[in-house]
Amino acid sequence: MVRSEALARCGLVLLSLWLCIQSVPISVDKTKEKPKEEELGPPESADTGLHYDRYLREVIEYLEKDPHFREKLKNANMDDIKQGKLSKELNFVQHNFRTKLDELKREEMNRLRMLIKAKHDIKEGNGQTVDHQALLKQFEHLNHKNPHTFEVDDLDRLIKSATNDLENFDKDRHDEFKQYEMMKEHERRQRLKNLNEEDRKKEEEHYEEMKKKHANHPKVNHPGSEDQLKEVWQEADGLDPEDFDPKTFFKMHDSNGDGFFDESELEALFTKELLIKIASCIDIQVDTNKDRLVSLSEFIAATKKEEFYEKDEWETLDQNPLYTEEELREFEQQLANEKNDINKKSAELQKEREELERKQEELDAQKLGLKQAMEEMERVKSQNLNADVKREYEIYDK
């Protein structure tokens, strides 16, 4: 439960942190400085995997350049973002940034038109029916009825589409992992069926022993929490947990002394398996500028968050299984149904093959019969011709 709550918290701040590409506020005195026109280079944030990823990141990066919007974004919560309150702040974004956003939208509209035309041509070329409603879904992240300017509705649609699509992406990944775990258990049970009684008993005893061993593992502290870092401080560094100091800890484990934790240095703090499971939360909760490095300032800021003092145990798959026995039975039934369908189709194809072979044999027999009949006709014809010639010679001799 605790693990799922922690992951839920990660999910809630995911979109807002994607909108916070830079971690240091820009300080601009509007009365003294005139905003400069800025050229937008390639987006620096991590690829989201969405088909409109570049458009999303470019819009975010330009909005981040506006001091007013950036300040509102810093103070916005996830409910404000989801309910569209943040989108309304677009009305106060400086004119030069609004102009750039208009350009980005027009570029995105052109890209989508070309994409849809290509898909349309391919389907028509293959003789397939074109699903126009499905093609129009490509435009859900913007208001295509206004192709010229980027408005509040466009930002609202972009946020809602990204939130929904990313949640679905996470769900798909979870479902894939769940299917993988169920397939492993299914294959284990299938192997047991092929063993004799003695070997099966030994295998089951070993399996139950390993389950108990995993179930009785020592408490796993919440990754990145004070207790977990103190554990490293005590066990790896040989220091008293009462003397724990985040700044000293960071400097001790920044092995190359460059002022950042990179991925290899994070691996030294967490086990490889645990690192994979919590990588997304580390990126979200600690690596706020998304450069795949954790700076000292980011690390110290993370130690001041509420999550840092999490005391509950980090639940493992042994404590919180991915699937129930009923779900496993349904999965196995689905596999059995798929196997039956394949066997049925295979049997049908075999019958069709046998029928084709039978018809081929009949055709070959007909060809052979026809060939023999033709040869017989030629033989008879030749005999008749010889008989006629012979009679003519006899008449001539008389």
CATH of the domain at 240: 1.10.238.10
Asked if residue 131 belongs to a domain, the reply is yes
181, part of any domain: no
Residue 112 covered by a domain: yes
Contact yes or no for 308/226 (Cβ under 8 A)? yes
Average pLDDT of the segment spanning 350-369: 92
Q: What is the predicted pLDDT for the residue at 207?
A: 86
Q: Do 219 and 313 touch, CB atoms closer than 8 A?
A: yes
Task: Provide the percentage of residues in the chain whose pLDDT is more than 70.
Answer: 71
Separation between Cα atoms, residue 107 and residue 154, nearest integer Å: 14
- Which among 89, 113, 99 is positioned nearest to 149, based on CA atoms? 99
Has residue 67 been placed in a domain?
A: yes
pLDDT higher for 398 or 369? Answer: 369
Q: Taking the model in full, what pTM does it have?
A: 0.45
Residue 274 lies in a domain: yes
Are 164 and 63 contained in the same domain? Answer: yes
Same domain as 140, residue 70? yes
| pLDDT value, residue 344 | 92
Query: pLDDT band at residue 47, thresholds of 50, 70 and 90?
Result: low
Q: Using CA atoms, how far apart are residues 103 and 377, in angstroms rounded to an integer?
A: 86
Structural domain includes residue 386: no
Last residue of a domain, one of 251, 282, 308: 308
Does 273 map to a domain?
yes
Picking from 263, 290, 308, the residue at the C-terminal end of a domain is 308
Look up residue 74 and give its two tokens. 């810093």
pLDDT 10s digits, 162-212: 888 877 776 777 788 888 889 989 999 999 999 999 999 999 988 888 877
Q: Determine the structural domain holding residue 266 and report its residue range.
A: 226-308
Q: What is the mean pLDDT of residues 354-369?
A: 92
Pairwise pLDDT comparison (324 vs 288), residue with the higher score: 324
Structural domains counted in the chain? 2
Q: With a cut of 70, say whether residue 397 has pLDDT above it.
A: no
Question: For all residues of the chain together, what is the average pLDDT?
Answer: 76
243, 251 Cβ separation under 8 angstroms: no
**pLDDT tens, position by position, 228-284:** 888 888 887 888 888 989 889 888 888 888 888 776 777 676 654 444 444 444 444
Q: Return the closest-CA partner of residue 88 out of 160, 155, 148, 145.
A: 155
Instruction: Report if residue 245 sits inside a domain.
Output: yes
Last residue in a domain, options 251, 286, 308? 308
Q: How many CB atoms lie within 10 A of CB 37?
A: 8
